[in-house]
């Protein structure tokens, strides 16, 4: 348990004080738990697990067979502006907490003049194979927001699916989407989707 607390806290960028405040315990107790000098009571373990975004079983060292998507990815989106189809490919950062994945675009995939924007969202990982969730523009006055459905490739190197949302042209629309560990993986996946399955609607 001490190793799980220390590693998970570090992965989330939390200090011992941050974790102590989130769990409602003294910082000295967190030090004792991480040093293996003491084990938390069950009620305290529950609050620590919640603060770390993991289950009590994981806190106790039982590692689930869960896909981990934390890290840098590339996202590709099929969209239109003024009736012209475009593909936006942009780097995104994903941070996973249990089955919840926070996602944020770190650069625009198209220029602002072409309709590119920054966005954030949340996804939920289901059965290590499907991610569902929402996204919303975080860039100025851009109104785009919607939902995402992505299916993970069995080897976890890319995912493909669709988005549905309010597009640049102020219409509810949908298009293909992909995410890959590299830009090439993402662009290859969306190119194949479009060539075999068609355009935006």
Q: 92 with 106: CB under 8 angstroms?
A: yes
Does the pLDDT of residue 156 top 90, yes or no?
no
Higher pLDDT, residue 201 or 25: 25
Does the pLDDT of residue 122 top 60, yes or no?
yes
State the burial class of residue 191 (Cβ atoms within 10 Å of its Cβ: 0-12, 13-18, 19+). Answer: middle
Give per-residue pLDDT as tens, 56-106. 888 888 766 667 888 899 999 998 777 788 899 999 999 988 788 999 999
Q: Does domain 71-197 have CATH number 2.40.128.120?
A: yes
Q: 163 with 148: CB under 8 angstroms?
A: yes
In this predicted structure, what is the pLDDT of residue 56? Answer: 86
Residues of the chain with CATH 1.10.260.40: 2-59
Query: Domain 2-59: which topology?
Result: 434 Repressor (Amino-terminal Domain) (1.10.260)
| pLDDT, average across residues 23-31 | 94
Residue 133: band (very low, low, confident or very high) from pLDDT cuts 50, 70, 90: very high
Does the pLDDT of residue 29 top 90, yes or no?
yes
In this predicted structure, what is the pLDDT of residue 169? Answer: 63
Return the SS3 of 18. Answer: helix
In this predicted structure, what is the pLDDT of residue 63? Answer: 63
Pure H helices in the chain: 2-11, 16-23, 27-35, 42-52, 56-59, 183-197
In this predicted structure, what is the pLDDT of residue 79? Answer: 84
Q: 67 with 152: CB under 8 angstroms?
A: yes
In this predicted structure, what is the pLDDT of residue 199? Answer: 60
Q: 180 with 150: CB under 8 angstroms?
A: no
Q: What does the mean pLDDT of the chain come to? A: 89
pTM above 0.75, yes or no: no
Does the pLDDT of residue 31 top 60, yes or no?
yes
Residues of the chain with CATH 2.40.128.120: 71-197
């Amino acid at each position: 348990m001490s190793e799980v607390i220390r590693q998970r806290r570090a992965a989330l960028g939390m200090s011992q004080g941050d974790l102590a405040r989130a769990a409602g315990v003294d910082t000295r107790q967190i030090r004792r738990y991480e040093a293996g000098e003491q084990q938390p009571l069950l009620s305290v373990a529950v609050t620590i697990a919640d603060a770390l975004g993991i289950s009590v079983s994981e806190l106790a060292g039982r590692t689930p067979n869960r896909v981990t998507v934390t890290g840098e990815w590339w996202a590709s989106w099929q969209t239109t502006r003024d009736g012209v189809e475009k593909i936006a490919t942009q780097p995104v950062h994903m941070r996973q907490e249990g089955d919840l994945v926070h996602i944020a675009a770190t650069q625009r995939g198209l220029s602002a003049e072409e309709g590119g924007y920054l966005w954030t969202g949340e996804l939920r990982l289901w059965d290590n194979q499907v991610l569902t969730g929402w996204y919303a523009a975080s860039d100025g006055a851009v109104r785009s927001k919607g939902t995402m459905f992505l299916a993970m490739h069995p080897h976890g190197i890319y995912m493909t699916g669709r988005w549905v949302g309010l597009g640049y042209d102020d219409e509810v629309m949908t298009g293909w989407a992909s995410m890959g560990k590299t830009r090439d993986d993402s662009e290859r996946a969306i190119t194949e989707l479009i060539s075999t399955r068609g355009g935006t609607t």
